[in-house]
Structure 1
Amino acid sequence: MLSRSDDPVAAALARAAGLICDDLRALAASNPVVLIDGCSGAGKSTLAARVAEEWPLVGRVQVIALDSLYPGWDGLDGGVERALEGILRPHGRGKLGAWQRWDWERATEAETHAVDPALGVIVEGSGLLTPATAALGDVRVWLEAEEPVRKRRALTRDGETYRPHWDRWAAQERAHIARDDPRSLATRIIEIP
């Protein structure tokens, strides 16, 4: 097994987490919002976990993965809208937010989770950086990685569950990139090998 220093992806994500933590310190805010976008397999969940581990501010941080909000395999835009309405807008107004987990096996909404506006929040997921969400994010990250590498990582991670859905999900990601230009909305662009 490769150590983090021997694994170029792990090393890139570690550097990215350090930069994001520097950005958070510079904000001098007690409850910042970090948005992490990138196509499937780019490393969003791993980066979010690293930033949460290294969270440089007092108190805990809430980490929310859009994988828990997307309403099914055709729901990239729907998941982002759910995050905007249930998490980001209330948080930005200093109000308690809430989101419902999507139960992928039953194809229905499940339990509800609260989002404390007094705490920082990291939201990560494909499709996340849009003009509406970017206006509510203090640190906005776009992860860039080549498709063959991303696909290999995603299918290694999720296996046969994801394989039949890769193309339709990738088409939604391409539509998001063409429509929203998330790279231009990012405060940090991170290249992942």
Structure 2
Amino acid sequence: MTTTAGALPDLVRDRPPGPGGCRLVTVDGWSGSGKSVLAERLGRALDAPVLSIEELYPGWDGLAAAIPLAREWIAEPLFHGRSAHWWPWVWERDERSPHPRTQPCVPVVVLEGCGSGAAALRPFTSAAIRVDCPPAERERRLRTRADWPGYAPHRARFLAQERRYFAGAPDPDLVVRT
């Protein structure tokens, strides 16, 4: 179903929570599509924390590897009413932090980033949202971001991972076009 960003809070509230009382909402999409902006707006509207699956990527080639970690460390615990614990990737040191982050189970948690709508996470997800944006606009947005200089050398490799991921990704519950 295609919807508008303004309608999302009510649509999320209408979704059933997991047995632990949490609604895990994923905001997936290609780099530059507007996932982070939409997720932050949704989080504010729902008074919900926003987590980024990018913290789980083990480096620039880690999109696929982050999905089972997101399931184990975030989605499953929240679904069952437990706190999520994850060990973020420290990009500057190219290693996993020894210090976990924690997210208590609350009524709504938003998980954003490429890979967050993966099939492995769907059994634990109340609403899977995909942000859709034309490729030329995504590339324009990427090049205007403050982090572009650090991302640019890895863009082709990450784009190849996105193509593999989206070739097999399940359809979302909701699509927002930006």
The normalised TM-score by structure 2 is: 0.89
Does the aligned pair in 2 maintain the 1:76–1:126 contact within 8 Å?
Answer: yes
Q: 2:25 aligns with which of 25, 34, 40?
A: 34
Aligned counterparts of 1:48 and 1:148: Cα–Cα separation in 2: 22
Where in structure 1 do 4 or more consecutive aligned residues deviate above 3 Å? Answer: none
Aligned counterparts of 2:7 and 2:73: Cα–Cα separation in 1: 28
Instruction: Tell me the equivalent position of 1:78.
Output: 65
Instruction: Tell me the equivalent position of 2:177.
Output: 191
Gaps of 5+ in 1: 1-12
State the Cα deviation string for residues 138-178 of structure 1 (Å, max 9, x = none): 11101111222111212221221111111110110110111
- Structure 1 residue 81: Cα displacement: 1.9
Q: Does 1:89 align with 2:76?
A: yes
Instruction: Tell me the equivalent position of 2:121.
Output: 133
State the secondary structure of the residue aligned to 2:82: coil
In the alignment of these two chains, the number of paired residues is 171
- Structure 1 residue 50: Cα displacement: 0.2
Which is bigger in relative contact order (C-alpha 8 A, separation at least 6)? 2
Identical-pair percentage:
32
Does the aligned pair in 2 maintain the 1:33–1:139 contact within 8 Å?
Answer: yes
Aligned counterparts of 1:43 and 1:92: Cα–Cα separation in 2: 26
State the secondary structure of the residue aligned to 1:127: coil
Gaps of 5+ in 2: none
Structure 2 vs 1, CA of residues 28 and 172 (structure 1 numbering), >3 Å: closer, same or farther? Answer: closer
Aligned counterparts of 2:16 and 2:75: Cα–Cα separation in 1: 19
State the secondary structure of the residue aligned to 2:136: helix
